[in-house]
Structure 1
Amino acid sequence: MPLDEDLLPEARKSYRYQWYVVAICMLAYVFSFVDRQILSLMIEPIKRDLHLSDTQFSLLNGLAFSLLYSVMGLPIAILADKRSRPLIISIGVAFWSLATAASGLAKNFVHLFLARIGVGVGEAALSPAAYSMFSDMFPKSKLGRAYGIYSLGSFIGGAAAFIIGGYVINLLKSVDAVTLPLLGEVRAWQLTFLIVGLPGIVLALLVFFTVRDPRRRGLRRDADGGVQKVALRHVIGFLWRHRRTFAAHYLGFSLYALVLLGMMAWTPAFYIRAFSLTSSEAGYLLGVVVLVANGSGVLFGGWLVDRLARRGHTDAAMRAGVIGALGMTVPVVAFTQVGQLWLSLALLAVAMFFASFPMPASTAAMQVLSPNQMRAQVSAIFLLISNLIGLALGTTLVALVTDRVFGDPKMVGSSLSIVYGLASVLTVLLLWRGCRHFRRSVAAERAVGEPAAQPEGVS
């Protein structure tokens, strides 16, 4: 139905504001990935100064971050389903920014491990709250696009971490240490953490003062017309009722995350060791690959979800995941096995493009199926499983194969091929099987009432 002309300016204002919220949440996601990813580029100086093995470094890059990032996501998500979501996001941004800066003060493995746990705790506040807000702001036909643009922040952040980190490392390559007021002597890599961490405080204030919590829509109501109160046991009951769907979704997309996050964590070390690149050179090259390949991949993945949905596929998000997993399987194995740098980077770009599909796809699937009162919690449980598998297990498996099977750091490329090749095949099988279960779950939820009725958007 056409909008009345008198309402058009207000409608346009609302439309612009909706995308402003997506943009500022995307910017927060950029900051989160810069703070998360910068560690992987500085693997060699950190290992040298703190006397670490590949396995210990993988714990910093995986387990330390994912431990409380995964666990704290659920209680924070429970708050996000009941309290102000912009407030939760702003507190989270401030917390992880300070924790990143604290990484620059680390003097040993334990100090850095604790600081990385802090980064994980702060970042746990962002995605569940952002996902929940978007579902209340956009119709289903635009959800894939909104999630795709938001998810783009992870790859802009990953690229920025590589490029900015490479620039700072190159800038400080002749500087062994600097002396700062109150802090004393700090190494170049420690200064890098301070530089990238502190600006997040400004972003936290921007979220707090400019984003308002949208009205919650699609709430299920009891027989008296009141909003049903949802406890964690209700969420567990919902997941159990659709256990085949969520088993395929959670495990399939978690293995997908294992491949994507593992490549983000280990490709700098691979190119430094296999092609004798400097940290700066690796940062610049990988920054371009992540920005172009992953950025276009996540946008295309979001478009594909919306396209399949418009064509009547109720399992659109799961189908998009299957397509992406099929596309990444061969290049993710091959890029470490070729001898030419240009060919390796080309294959990596293809792998990264398809590896980006699940970011909007996995989110859209959860938000479409779940009732409003439990969206953030369903997302948080997924992030709990996804990050324990994708970050903690995925990065450490590669290190263990390198250290224990090959016993040679230069064989990290073969470890990548083995671990992520197997994970890619399992991803395809799980998501393909999950499509059928997802269709059944959507039909079942529609039979008892549309769980996530969306507001009409402005075209």
Structure 2
Amino acid sequence: MNDKSIDIELVERTIQPEAQNFEHQPVSDHSPMHDQTTQMRSSAYHWYVVIICMVAYILSFVDRQILSLMIEPIKHDLMLSDTQFSLLQGLAFSLFYAVMGVPIAALADKKSRIKIIAIGIAFWSFATAACGLSKNFLQMFLSRLGVGAGEAALSPAFYSIVADLFPKEKLGRALGLYAIGAFIGSGLAFLIGGYVIGLLKNVNLVTLPLIGEIKTWQLTFMIVGLPGVLLALLMILTVREPERKGLKIGQDGQVVKASFKNSIAFIKTHKKTFFCHFIGFSFYTMMLYALLGWAPAFYMRNHGLDASQTGYILGIIILVANTSGALFCGWLIDWFSKRGYSDAAIRSGMIGCAALIIPSVLFTQVDNIYLSFALIFVAMFFSTFPIPASAAATQMLTPNQLRAQVSAKFLLVSNLIALGIGTTAVALITDKYFQNTVMVGNSISIVNAVAGVLGTFLLYKGCQYYRDSIQVEKAAEHL
């Protein structure tokens, strides 16, 4: 046996006992392996919370969006003009959605956000079903107010929760995943509505126990409304309130209270930033609602599609284009963040708004229906950016105890401008200027052109203001 083989044998004898001892050593509760398993479980739970809130967001958009597909039978049975219908679609919903969001958000910054979301889901689900019982404009208007009031509980509370679950470099993707709920919901609203309308196209009245005879569009509201009650119960049973992180400390060394006054003071401290953020994203969102709210009417009136065909086609476009757009925006925000851009969210919003202008204006101006579908597909992709981008910008700047309230104030402004004014502006231009319902496509183009230019300009200006605000808050943390 040579010297080299003796050396190898000696090394093996030395190493093997240590390896055997290591293999039989029990894993400590505090070992790296245990910590990694715990971290993976925690991460999976955090994504579960996002997913269940996304499902709630899906239901909320099904409940609010299905109205636009049933525009013709509702107008006929309730004897409404385009302007009256736009009030049901826009103002009736956005009024309480925006206004009720402020006091509900104040509770969310102090009390259990999970319970607030669950109660809101159940409330708007019953209100949606109540839309199916409406016999006139006033009853439908009040039911839509209820839908808005219930849905006001979801987004501000969720935005506060998600910032406690994820670090900033993952916040964009989490908000992007949540945001796709809006577009899965809108797509399903068109698909489900199209299917039900097609299924019941030869049926005018349906008889229900205790309720009596109702129209098929009324039955549709009941079908899409009630599943939310089960989701509310699931949330209460499976989701726990997360620990609050990132609380702001005042100059006196005490935690700043979660009050309406302090949220206003914080907004005033960064007034240029929030002006560009609130108004810029509101104009951007106006374009989204003009597309979602009036594209069905455009295709039915100008290209001869029926409600069922329109529902299927737009439903597929929204499910593919809008969901991929929201996820892309979330990725883009994180991509900018990892490269050191403190204005990552505002910057992503500005890019999306600029890219949306041309396709959102042109899809109503081309004669070829397939080219129109191609253009609205591109428009729908970029129309999704304001939801994750505006939310990420707010959460990255705002301290924990004020996040829900600042988010609610943004939603107040955004929905009054985007949903309340935007959808009604399309109807008013059609009714008062063109005085011809077939010209709704031109009205969409006018609103989108003006809103797109204003939104892009404000978000461009907002990037610098936002970077300055981030520096101010970082400096305050080190005082």
Shorter-chain TM-score: which interval? Answer: over 0.9
Write out aligned runs for 1:409-448 (5 A).
409-448=437-476
Supply the AA of the counterpart residue of 1:81.
D
The residue number in structure 1 matching 2:93 is 65
2:187 to 154, 159, 180: 159
Over 6 Å off, 4+ runs: none
Listed one character per residue, the Cα deviations across residues 219-255 of structure 1 (whole Å, up to 9, x for unaligned) are: 1235676433132111111111110000000000001
Pairwise mapping of residues 224-373 of structure 1 onto structure 2 (< 5 A)?
A: 226-373=254-401
Q: Distance in 2 between matches of 1:361 and 1:256?
A: 11
Quick check: 1:29 aligned with 2:69? no
In the alignment, the residues of structure 1 paired with residue 478 and residue 446 of structure 2 have an alpha-carbon distance, to the nearest angstrom, of: 43
Query: Aligned-pair distance for 1:71?
Result: 0.2
Aligned to 1:98: 126
Quick one: distance in 1 between partners of 2:282 and 2:31? Answer: 42
How far apart in 1 are the matches of 2:443 and 2:253? 57
Partner of residue 204 from structure 1, selected from 232, 236, 240: 232
Query: 1:216 matched to which residue of 2?
Result: 244
Structure 2 CA distance for aligned equivalents of residues 162 and 443 of structure 1: 44
Once the two structures are TM-superposed, the CA of residue 193 in structure 1 deviates from its matched residue by 0.3
Contact residue 106 and residue 258 of structure 2 kept, 8 A: no
What pairs up with 1:11-90 in 2 under 5 angstroms?
11-90=39-118
- Number of aligned residues: 450
Change (3 A) 1:3 1:265: farther
Ranges in structure 1 where 5+ consecutive residues have no aligned partner: 452-459
Query: What code does the residue aligned with 1:430 have?
Result: L
Alignment-mate amino acid for residue 82 of structure 1: K
Distance 1:110 1:389, change over 3 A: same
Specify the alignment match of 1:399 in structure 2.
427
Match of 1:121 in 2: 149
Q: Does 1:181 align with 2:209?
A: yes
Give, in whole Å, the separation in 2 of the partners of 1:368 and 1:347: 33
Which of 10, 16, 36 is the equivalent residue of 1:8?
A: 36
Rg larger for: 2
Separation (CA, whole Å) in 2 of partners of 1:33 and 1:364: 20
Q: Partners of 2:185 and 2:271 in 1: how far apart?
A: 34
Distance 1:39 1:224 in 2: 52
Quote the Cα distance in structure 2 between the aligned partners of 1:36 and 1:230. Answer: 30
1:310-347 Cα offsets, whole Å, 9 max, x none, are: 11111111110111011111111100000111100100
Instruction: Normalising by structure 1, report the TM-score.
Output: 0.97
Instruction: Give 1:47 shift.
Output: 0.3
Q: Which has the higher mean CA deviation after the structures are superposed, 8-17 or 402-411? A: 8-17
User: C-alpha distance in 2, partners of 1:127/1:230?
Assistant: 18
Structure 1 distance, partners of 2:441, 2:140, is 26
Alpha-carbon contact 2:110-2:258 (below 8 Å) kept: no
Is the contact made by 2:299 and 2:305 (CA closer than 8 Å) also made in structure 1? Answer: yes
- 1:10 is displaced (CA, Å) by 1.4
Q: Partner of 2:134: helix, strand, or coil?
A: coil
Q: AA paired with 2:127?
A: A
* Greater CA drift, 348-357 or 94-103: 348-357
Measure the CA separation in 2 of the matches of 1:297 and 1:189. Answer: 31
After superposition, the Cα gap between the structure-2 partners of 1:269 and 1:447, relative to the gap in structure 1 and judged at 3 Å, is same
Cα distance in 1, alignment partners of residues 188 and 372 from structure 2 = 21
Give me the whole-angstrom Cα distance separating, in 1, the residues matched to 2:408 and 2:356: 26
Task: Supply the AA of the counterpart residue of 1:28.
Answer: A
Displacement after TM superposition at 1:176 (Å): 0.4
Report the identity percentage: 58
Counterpart of 2:404 (choices 373, 376, 380) is 376
Q: Which residue matches 1:135? A: 163
What residue identity is the alignment partner of 2:290? Answer: G
Shift of 1:359: 1.1
In the alignment, the residues of structure 2 paired with residue 307 and residue 394 of structure 1 have an alpha-carbon distance, to the nearest angstrom, of 32
Tell me the secondary structure at the aligned position of residue 433 of structure 1: helix
The amino acid of 2:223's aligned partner reads I
Q: Secondary structure at the match of 2:213?
A: strand
Output one character per residue of 1:379-433: Cα deviation in whole Å (capped at 9) or x when no partner. 0000000000111100000000000000000000000001111100111100001
The one-letter code sitting in structure 1 at the alignment partner of 2:209 is P
| Residue type at the aligned position of 2:116 | I
Tell me how large the CA RMSD over aligned residues is. Answer: 1.3
Which residue among 223, 232, 248 is the counterpart of 1:195?
A: 223
